[in-house]
Chains A and B, each alone.
Chain A
Amino acid sequence: MSRLTSLWRWELLVVVLAESTLALALVGETTTLRSAVIVTFLSLCPGLCFLRLMGFRFELPADIAYSVTASLVIVGIVGGITLYAGAWSPEHVVNYLAAAAIILAPMASIGRNWRIPTKQGP
């Protein structure tokens, strides 16, 4: 599993999903593929970026669970703001989230390397 975790290139996944979301949004037509990509992006990527920006990295099952939970919470916050502001438009907001993910994923990735590696664990 540790090897699996090291192979888990999260930045690539986020950028590919975000760009696919934007590309499919341009097409506009609702297809199963578009729905699947958008749901996967929304339920995984915002939280994954957030966790990495905060410096978190778990083992794979926990990484997925925490990313999904954080993503859903972020979606809830964004959705709540747009809903209470009277600007409910998830189909447009998802594009902004995808753009933000494309910017934040490399930032979080670079940020991880800013720190000088230290001895692991207590």
Chain B
Amino acid sequence: MAEHPTVVADIGRPTALTAPELDPSSRSSELRVAALIGTGLILWIVIWLGSLLQFEGDLRSMSDLGLVSVLPVGAFIGVGLLTMSFCLTLWWLPTSNVLLTAHVTALIVMLFGTPAVLEEVPRFNISWRHAGIVELVAREGTLRPDLDVYGNWPGFFLIVGFLSRAAGVSNVLGFAEWASVVFNALYLGPLLLLYRSVAVNPRTIWLAIWIFYAANWIAQDYLAPQAFGYLLYLTSLALLLHTYSGRARTWRRHQASPWGASVACITLVILFAAASVPTHQLTPVQLTISLAGLALVWREVPRALPIFLACSIAAWAVFMATPYLDGHLPEVISDVGRVGSSVEEGVSARVAGSEGHLFVVRTRLALSCVIVLLALAGCARLLASGGRGAVDRRLFVLALAPAVLPAIQSYGGEVGLRAFFFALPPLAYFAANLFHPPWTRRISLSVASATVLVLLFLLAAFGFARYGNERAEFFTRDEVRAFEYFYDHASPNSVLAVAASNAPWKFEQYELHQYVVANQLDGWDEAAESENWDDFLADLAARMNKVDTTSYLVITRSAKAGTELVGDRPGAVEAFERAVRRSNLFLVVFSNSDALVAAARKSS
């Protein structure tokens, strides 16, 4: 590692873009500085970890601003000092890959590992559901595409199920806690490869990586097919760009044979791209668009590659995802071309809820806009200094390609988030060029100060944007105990009803039960408005008693917090809980400070 070719290929100003002076001082003084920074790095990590381990507050007291409202001061100080230490390393020792890698790794652990250190159980209700599907695959060796969408694109669940069964692990919730850290650490390799294929200035490369992580608030890196799909997306594109950028040092055996190198590269890209098809609905579509865009501006990309991928997606949909498409095809097709409604669902519809939540949503929008503006400014600086050729057209296409997604799918109102996620690597690269364009050798004080300030701003915004919903997204051990009670006592085919879908449920016996979400049933709004729950409870009990076995209703703290946060009839879940406790139709069989389990009484 750390070979720095002196000329950038394919950027248009090859003779102007020489590598910065990398060895201004003697080896021994460089080592002393490195030792100092390394010691500091350990200290910043200790400050961060120590403050989290000594945290004695109650996460339940979190406000609608999210995790930031309860984090100890030491956590902020640790991240701030780490950022400054990173900037110093970037300026003094830009070729010290070990130190820079250590800084980025520490950043990943701090940004994405904080909830895992602070919270009792894994966050985010969908992680729990995914753990349940993994458990089903591992236990039964079946995919059940009839159950829901997951069985129709089962690649990720199959892989994790295989791993957990082989390792003899009964559930993957332990991994779910740290999944974000693991996936973000895995993204580092392809990001390095991607940026090295278009830039030689190590400052630009490492700053782009830092910006990528500081702006990755999307939270699609948990135990989910999207996280693995994104890894496949990044690895495929990075390998293509790196291999064909004219200065790849990937090869050992194929050095003498460019043809052999091409075949090996294309084989691996096809393998990864094809693996994304059964893994996730959106990722292969985006990969096809990105590859098609690359093929248009860059003759090295085989035209057949996006065509192959498009055919694979179509074949999978026709032959393997039929159970899902049978019921949802009109819905899928109706989204095509409806850019306005996709944006409406993804942006306008989300600007709602409590004051704190509104601030969080606006911070998310602002952070995304700031990244786009920084990237545009970076492009403008490259254009102004080096002409049109200075802006790498391949990364430019990769930044624009995700803009096509909203015209294809609304993806449940999330397509804007996903498009930003896919565009983030090239956007981060162009944003880094605003501060450290490829030809800069010396860093002025004003640029240094601006870099530190912008990075600190991004990290501050990240805290709100990423963990702004934490009040609803974290769960307590007591909430989980309520569902464990259900799994211990329920018979197969029992109905599991919850007040709202934001709960740590479905993490085992996924296929054995029927599920009901009370606040999505007809009559909920009327009952909440009139505060008369009798008819609603009667309907709910009748629905739950359609099966022979005893069915259970679980009401949790997170269900209340989730509905309050997004302004979905705040207080309704509490009123519902009071009505359930009073009702003759339900019998409370388990309760603690955060949850209640009530069995539906069978009418005689």
Interface set of A (CB-CB < 8 Å, partner B): 1-2, 4-5, 30, 34-36, 38-39, 42-43, 51, 54-66, 68-70, 72-73, 75-80, 82-83, 88-91, 93-94, 111-112, 114-116, 118-122
Given contacts A34-B167, A68-B186, 18 further A-B contacts (CB under 8 A): A1-B98, A42-B167, A54-B267, A57-B252, A58-B189, A62-B193, A65-B231, A66-B190, A72-B159, A73-B275, A75-B162, A79-B162, A83-B143, A83-B158, A88-B141, A89-B141, A90-B162, A90-B165
Cβ-defined contact, A79 with B169, below 8 A: no
A-B pairs, top 3 by smallest CB distance, nearest first, are: A88-B141, A65-B189, A30-B168
Interface string of B419-462 (1 = CB under 8 A from A): 00000000000000000000000000000000000000000000
CB of B246 closer than 8 Å to a CB of A: yes
Interface residues of B in 568-591 (CB under 8 A from A): none
Choose from B167, B235, B256, B267 the contact partner of A66 (Cβ within 8 Å). Answer: B235
Contact B163–A70 (Cβ < 8 Å):
no
Known: A1-B101, A34-B168. A55 touches B260 (CB 8 A): yes
Tell me, rounded to whole Å, the shortest Cβ–Cβ distance linking B94 to chain A: 13
Contact B168 A4 (CB under 8 A): no
What is the distance, in angstroms, from B51's C-beta to the closest C-beta of chain A? 28
Q: Quick one: closest B residue to A83, CB to CB? A: B141
In contact, A80 and B158 (Cβ under 8 angstroms): yes
Q: Decide if A2 touches B2 in the complex (CB within 8 Å).
A: yes
Pairwise interchain contact A111-B272, C-beta atoms closer than 8 A: no
Task: Report the Cα distance A119→B251, complex, angstroms.
Answer: 12
Chain B interface category by residue count = 35 or more
CA distance A122 to B10 in the complex (A): 14
Q: List 28 interface pairs A-B (beta carbons < 8 Å), by A numbering.
A: A2-B1, A2-B3, A4-B98, A35-B169, A38-B166, A39-B167, A54-B264, A54-B267, A55-B261, A56-B268, A58-B189, A59-B1, A63-B189, A65-B190, A66-B190, A66-B235, A68-B186, A70-B271, A73-B272, A76-B155, A76-B278, A76-B279, A80-B155, A90-B161, A94-B166, A112-B253, A116-B256, A118-B256
Give the interface SS of chain A, mostly helix, strand, loop or mixed: helix
Query: Which of A42, A61, A65, A94 meets B235, CB within 8 Å?
Result: A65
**What are the residues of chain A within 8 A of B246 when measuring CB–CB?**
122
Contact A43 B163 (CB under 8 A): yes
B268 touches A54 (CB 8 A): yes
A72 touches B193 (CB 8 A): no
CA of A76 to CA of B365, assembled, Å: 37
For the complex, what is the distance from the CA of A77 to the CA of B278, rounded to whole Å? 11
Q: For residue A65, which residues in chain B have a CB less than 8 angstroms away from its CB?
A: 186-190, 231, 235
- Name the A residues within 8 Å of B5 (CB-CB): 121
Does A1 contact B2, Cβ atoms closer than 8 Å? yes
A93: B residues at CB distance < 8 A? 162, 166
Asked if residues B189 and A64 are in contact (CB atoms below 8 Å), the reply is yes
Give the docked Cα–Cα distance between A66 and B252 (Å).
16
Cβ contacts under 8 Å, A57 to chain B:
250-252
Q: Is the CB of B272 within 8 A of A69?
A: yes
Contact partner of B268 (CB less than 8 A), chosen from A1, A64, A70, A79, is: A70
Docked pose: A72 CA to B164 CA in angstroms? 13
Q: With A73-B271, A73-B275, A79-B161 known to touch, is A56 a contact of B251 (CB < 8 Å)?
A: yes
Cβ of B232 within 8 Å of any chain A Cβ, yes or no, is: yes
A1 CB to closest chain B CB (Å) equals 4
**Do the beta carbons of B168 and A91 come within 8 Å of each other?**
yes
Chain A residues whose C-beta falls within 8 Å of the C-beta of B303 in the assembled complex:
none
- Map CB proximity to A onto B174-204 as digits: 1 under 8 Å, 0 otherwise: 0000000000001111101100000000000
Q: List residues of chain B with CB within 8 A of the CB of A35.
A: 167-169
Shortest CB-to-CB span from B470 to chain A, Å, is: 28
Residues of B within 8 A of A115 (CB): 252-253, 255-256
- When C-beta atoms are compared, the residue in chain A nearest to B137 turns out to be A83
Q: Please, which residues of chain B bring their CB within 8 A of the CB of A42?
A: 162-163, 166-167
Within 8 A of A (CB), among B226-274: 228, 231-232, 235, 238-239, 246-256, 260-261, 264, 267-268, 271-272
Beta-carbon contact of A79 and B159 below 8 Å? yes
With CB as the reference atom, state the residue of chain A lying closest to B100. A1
**In the complex, A93 Cα to B278 Cα: how many Å?**
21
Question: A56–B252 Cα gap in the complex (Å)?
Answer: 7
Q: Is the CB of B159 within 8 A of A76?
A: yes
Question: Within the complex, which residue of B161, B228, B232, B250 is in contact with A56, where a contact is CB–CB below 8 Å?
Answer: B250
**Of A55, A69, A114, A120, which is within 8 A of B249 by CB?**
A120
Question: Do A76 and B275 form a contact, CB below 8 Å, given A56-B251, A62-B189?
Answer: yes
Task: List the B side residues contacting A66 at CB < 8 Å.
Answer: 189-190, 235, 239
Q: A91 and B189 in contact (CB under 8 A), knowing A56-B251, A69-B231? A: no
Q: Are B254 and A55 in contact (CB under 8 A)?
A: yes
Judged by a CB distance under 8 angstroms, whether B97 is at the interface is yes
With beta carbons under 8 angstroms apart, the residue of A36, A69, A78 that contacts B186 is A69
